Amino acid sequence: MNANPSEPAGVPAPVASHIVRVSLGERSYEIQIQAGLLADLGSRLLRIAKGRRLLVVTDRTIGPLFGPVLARSLQAAGFDGSLAELPPGEGAKSLDVAKFLYDRCFDAQLDRSSCLVALGGGVMGDLTGFVAATYMRGIDFVQVPTTLLSMVDASVGGKVAVDHPRAKNAIGAFHQPRAVFIDPLVLAKLPDRELKAGLAEVIKYGVLDDRTFFEFVESNVGKLLQRDAAALSSAIEKSCAIKARIVGEDEREREGGPRALLNLGHTFAHAIETCTNYQGYLHGEAVAIGMAMACELSVARKLLSRGDADRVRQLIELAGLPVKLKAGDPPADDLHAATFRDKKARGGKLRFVLATSIGTTKVFDDVPEEAARKIWDLPRD
């Protein structure tokens, strides 16, 4: 049915737009969520851009899929845009690739009024944000995430970074985007494996902050896997709202602040990614295993009931995600050693985000090293 009876048959009704605000004073910004938004991004960017020169940073997989639509929208709005296409994958998050992008910024004659546009998943967002934070001592950038994981997590919050061979996201800064533009329609072209990886972060929000949301994901995991538009939009909006609230309370992860809770499962996950040289596991897959491990550690420390831990594990498995390491993965001792390079570690002591119930988490710095080490000895597939 047409929203406006005067419109001819076949004209689609307006699509609902959802806005989540990240409240950070002068650095506040909006997360705009709307189906079909990508084709209208140029006019939306006009409202916040300081100048008309920009550089779109994407990878060679995403660029051909969504670059033409974005380019037409930017050109129609009068932007003078250039494009940088990079190899896909975690390997692009390096200082060498950042240097290449600095050269592209100079080639495009970008100045302090210019803007970078990150079109892609979390890798493109982190890398583009890092370059934006450091080029000319900081220029604007916007996030246009194209994966579920980047929509619900990586694009929000201003953590930008590149990897170091010894630790993931070890070189970075806090640099908030000017806006985040989310078009759920792009998920239609997302590979199934990537969709499932994004669900790991969706599940994480329910475990760490909102039991009711966890129950929503439990009830709708089939619809989410089938890419049901309403279920996906609800999951994206709620995940963004949880992260926006936490970031608004604690922008730079102050000591004792709530932002560290967003790293539930990540101490284990980052060790897995580092020791496997960022190969074999997508970030969301590593987070899924890390979240299952964190729940096991919580049970061992008598913080979480066996029933809640099993419930989390079962939902992860229902989402088609791993909960165990593979038999051929690095030795437990190597993985445990890598946890000490986690950003939350203090004075050589490990700190873990652990659940005390579904929907409630805390940071613990009193977990004995022996207890943490035992988790790496859990059975493997």
Q: Is 263 a catalytic residue?
A: yes
Q: Is 21 a catalytic residue?
A: no
Question: Helices 95-107 and 122-134, interaxial angle, to 10°?
Answer: 60
238, 283, 336, 343: which is the annotated catalytic residue?
Answer: 283
Q: Is 93 a catalytic residue?
A: no
Structure-block tokens of residue 143: 């996030």
CA dihedral 303, 368, 317, 157 (to 10 degrees): 90
- In sequence order, the 6+-apart residues with CB closer than 8 A to the CB of 118 are 57, 58, 124, 125, 127, 128, 129, 141, 142, 143, 144, 145, 155, 177
**Token pair 């420390």 is at which residue?**
301
263, 285, 296, 343: which is the annotated catalytic residue?
Answer: 263
243, 336, 344, 351: which is the annotated catalytic residue?
Answer: 243
C-alpha span between 270 and 344 (Å, rounded): 11
93, 168, 204, 266: which is the annotated catalytic residue?
Answer: 266
Cβ neighbourhood burial of 206 (10 Å; 0-12, 13-18, 19+): buried
Q: Which helix (H) or strand (E) holds 195?
A: helix 192-209
Structure-block tokens of residue 208: 């760490």
137, 166, 255, 302: which is the annotated catalytic residue?
Answer: 137
Q: Is 270 a catalytic residue?
A: yes
C-alpha span between 240 and 238 (Å, rounded): 5
Q: Is 215 a catalytic residue?
A: no
Beta bridge partners of 80: 53
93, 204, 259, 343: which is the annotated catalytic residue?
Answer: 259
Contact at 8 Å (CB) between 248 and 218? Answer: no
Q: Is 251 a catalytic residue?
A: no
Q: Is 283 a catalytic residue?
A: yes
Q: Is 159 a catalytic residue?
A: yes
Cβ neighbourhood burial of 64 (10 Å; 0-12, 13-18, 19+): exposed
270, 336, 343, 351: which is the annotated catalytic residue?
Answer: 270
53, 93, 104, 159: which is the annotated catalytic residue?
Answer: 159
Annotated catalytic residues are 137, 159, 201, 243, 253, 259, 263, 266, 270, 283
